[in-house]
Amino acid sequence: MSIVVLGTVALDSIKTPAGLRKNLLGGSAAHFAMSANFFTKVHLAGVIGRDFPEQHIEFLKHRNINLDALTRQKGKTFKWQGEYKKEDLNTALTLNTELGVLASSFPVLSKQQLRMKNVFLANYAPDLQERFLKEIGSAQFVGLDTMNLWINTQVKSVKKLLKQVNIVIVNETEAKQLSGQNNLMAAAKFLYALGPQMVIIKKGEHGALFYSNTLTCILPAYPVENVVDPTGAGDTFAGGVMGYITKSRKLNASVLRRALGYGIIFSSFNVQDFGLKRTAVLETNDVRQRMAKFKELLRF
Amino acid sequence: MSIVVLGTVALDSIKTPAGLRKNLLGGSAAHFAMSANFFTKVHLAGVIGRDFPEQHIEFLKHRNINLDALTRQKGKTFKWQGEYKKEDLNTALTLNTELGVLASSFPVLSKQQLRMKNVFLANYAPDLQERFLKEIGSAQFVGLDTMNLWINTQVKSVKKLLKQVNIVIVNETEAKQLSGQNNLMAAAKFLYALGPQMVIIKKGEHGALFYSNTLTCILPAYPVENVVDPTGAGDTFAGGVMGYITKSRKLNASVLRRALGYGIIFSSFNVQDFGLKRTAVLETNDVRQRMAKFKELLRF
């Protein structure tokens, strides 16, 4: 089994209380791939510019990520510059965005990829997410993420997409915004009623909530004291969830609970260093150990 | 086994998106008593004025709460007037406070109460909390709550108290304020280092965190869709925790985990109606059923 993810591949410049890093490999698809990769073969669909460093290509290849649909175009790679303040490490302040090739081009899928069954639409313009989903006519299990920008500017397209996906994974603010509900359970039920069979609401340092017709599950976050850089935590979470579901090929309660747990564990590693630095050196044993500790924290 | 709680007994006027209620029986000691009462005999120590309605006395008596130290004084009962806005049901906006007898008097303990072993110091001026603790020389297990006002104005007294108690139960904002730490785990460890053997940080709709030398435990809140009035949720939580510990007479991990769970379950009932309305009619079976559902939500 394998999964194809549509998302951004970016060069991130990030300032946090722990320091400043420039032109790190980032983007929603890259973060997603780092965790999904632990469970299943990941095909990364995204666009990069002429300036995209060869070392990043090598890095992704060494992680065994399929790059057939990582499409290089004339122009510059998408760049994001952000900052996190000490008072609120949960909130990214965008200092600058240069869309580059993201504004004008779209990844080209191989024949093999056009027949894939598992798809994740990471944060991207909703019309392009829909186009991607149409191209892959064979898609059977589809996950969706979005962001406040699209909910503000293209809410109809986002809602149209919600009818076509199996699982939506959004954060607390997006869930409240999309549903108009301040209560998270009410927001989850509202999103569920818009179409998807499963709803996950990410609550950052407070964990995540799963809601479907047959299962409600709430898990706190794994406590991390040394939060260095939260960039990509939500995408890493989604990669853990979607990767584990793809590997399991089942959607029973115990698989879904564990998928949620893996999402939380992978994102807890992600925030412990800049960019992909921590997840890049993550070993199966690290994940297993932290998962065991997490279960221990929750036992009662 | 029994427990004595020092706290306020108030007449609350509360406005929430669900409506407006005037002169409800409230206060930290009253809310605490409603849940602790499920596990142990509660002695309520507080002051009330001449205007305190007889029906409230009858109500508390019928709940089997010992009122020997509910001291009636010349003057008016403490009154609190607050509002919760739809956008943020977690935050109480204080519209008016009339201290009344609270400003000038102190509860008088019976001889039996002066020999009690379990004590909870609900939110109260820290100097008076300390005075109360000194009076009960026999205290063996002491819990402490406080609030932002005392941390701002009498932080030395609060820190002095922390050295004398076994468990501190504060909310997220208070924990961050007291510790100067934005990270909750770091805040918990900081508070622990100030003296108490156990630290609980209440996270409102996101649950609670327990920290001690031997146990770390994190539980989400029980999801409640129909939040009507959050007043007293933290006190009801503390009552569940302290009540269960008092009943259990042990401090092993499984008792502490269950105490945390009970705190969360009782506070989830508290918010479902105004004042004490929901907890007043709570049956053992309601608690048992919700506890079972909560375990199910968390299983993975």
Residue B118's pLDDT is 98
Mean pLDDT of A181-200: 97
Q: Which residues contact A86 (CB under 8 A, 6 or more apart)?
A: A17, B182
Phi, psi of A279 (to 5 degrees): -70, -25
- Tens digit of each residue's pLDDT (9 = 90 or more) over A211-240: 999 999 999 999 999 999 999 999 999 999
Residue A173's pLDDT is 95
Residue B185's pLDDT is 96
Domains of chain B: 2-298 (3.40.1190.20)
Q: Give the chain A residue nearest B86 (alpha carbons).
A: A182
Q: Which residues contact A54 (CB under 8 A, 6 or more apart)?
A: none
Task: Provide the percentage of residues in chain A whose pLDDT is more than 90.
Answer: 95
C-alpha B135, offset from chain centre:
21
Rounded CA separation B246/B227 (Å):
29
Rounded CA separation B200/B234 (Å):
11
Q: How far does the CA of residue A71 sit from the closest CA of chain B (Å)?
A: 39
- Tens digit of each residue's pLDDT (9 = 90 or more) over A47-71: 999 999 999 999 999 999 999 999 9
- Tens digit of each residue's pLDDT (9 = 90 or more) over B219-266: 999 999 999 999 999 999 999 999 999 999 889 999 999 999 999 999
**Residue B164, Cβ density class (10 Å: 0-12 exposed, 13-18 middle, ≥19 buried):** middle
pLDDT at B299 over 90: no
- Tens digit of each residue's pLDDT (9 = 90 or more) over B9-40: 999 999 999 999 999 999 999 999 999 999 99
- Owner of token pair 């009858």: B58
Task: Provide the percentage of residues in chain B whose pLDDT is more than 90.
Answer: 95
Alpha helices in B122-232 (DSSP H): 126-135, 148-153, 155-162, 172-179, 184-193
- Tens digit of each residue's pLDDT (9 = 90 or more) over B124-156: 999 999 999 999 999 999 999 999 999 999 999
Rounded CA separation A185/A217 (Å):
11
Within an 8 Å CB–CB cutoff, is residue B53 touching chain A? no
- In this structure, is the dihedral angle defined by the CA atoms of residues B86, A88, A201 and B169, taken in order, positive or negative? negative
Question: What is the average pLDDT value for chain A, to the nearest integer?
Answer: 96
pLDDT at A300 over 80: no
Which of A225, A257, A260 lies nearest to residue B185, judging by beta carbons? A225
Q: What is the pTM of this model?
A: 0.92
Residue A299's pLDDT is 85
Residue A87's pLDDT is 87
Residue B69's pLDDT is 98
Question: Cβ of B298 and A185 within 8 Å?
Answer: no
Q: Give the chain B residue nearest A222 (alpha carbons).
A: B218
- Tens digit of each residue's pLDDT (9 = 90 or more) over A265-294: 999 999 999 999 999 999 999 999 999 999
Within an 8 Å CB–CB cutoff, is residue B148 touching chain A? no
Residue B74's pLDDT is 96
* Total length of chain A: 300
pLDDT at B160 over 90: yes
pLDDT at A12 over 80: yes
Question: Cβ of A254 and B300 within 8 Å?
Answer: yes
pLDDT classification of B112: cutoffs 50, 70, 90: very high
- Tens digit of each residue's pLDDT (9 = 90 or more) over A247-260: 998 899 999 999 99
pLDDT classification of A15: cutoffs 50, 70, 90: very high
Rounded CA separation A113/B79 (Å):
67
- In this structure, is the dihedral angle defined by the CA atoms of residues A161, A162, A163 and A164, taken in order, positive or negative? positive
pLDDT at B87 over 90: no
- Owner of token pair 């706190």: A220
Task: Provide the percentage of residues in chain B whose pLDDT is more than 70.
Answer: 100
B-chain CB neighbours of A254 within 8 Å are: 300
The CA-atom distances, in angstroms, between B251 and each of A194, A258, A284, B197, B245 are 47, 30, 35, 11, 7
Q: How far does the CA of residue A274 sit from the closest CA of chain B (Å)?
A: 18
pLDDT at B84 over 80: yes
Tokens found for residue B22: 């005037």
Phi, psi of B75 (to 5 degrees): 120, -170
Q: State yes or no: ipTM above 0.90.
A: no
- Tens digit of each residue's pLDDT (9 = 90 or more) over B163-199: 999 999 999 999 999 999 999 999 999 999 999 999 9
Asked if A31 and A70 touch (Cβ cutoff 8 Å), the reply is: no
Residue A258's pLDDT is 97
Rounded CA separation B52/B75 (Å):
10
Residue B153's pLDDT is 95
Q: How many C-beta atoms lie closer than 10 Å to residue B1's C-beta?
A: 15
Most B CBs within 10 Å, among A85, A272, A300, to test the B interface: A300
Question: Cβ of B206 and A219 within 8 Å?
Answer: no
A-chain CB neighbours of B272 within 8 Å are: none
Residue B90's pLDDT is 85
Rounded CA separation B257/B294 (Å):
13
Which residues 240-259 of chain A have a CB within 8 Å of chain B?
254, 257-258
Question: Cβ of A298 and B219 within 8 Å?
Answer: yes
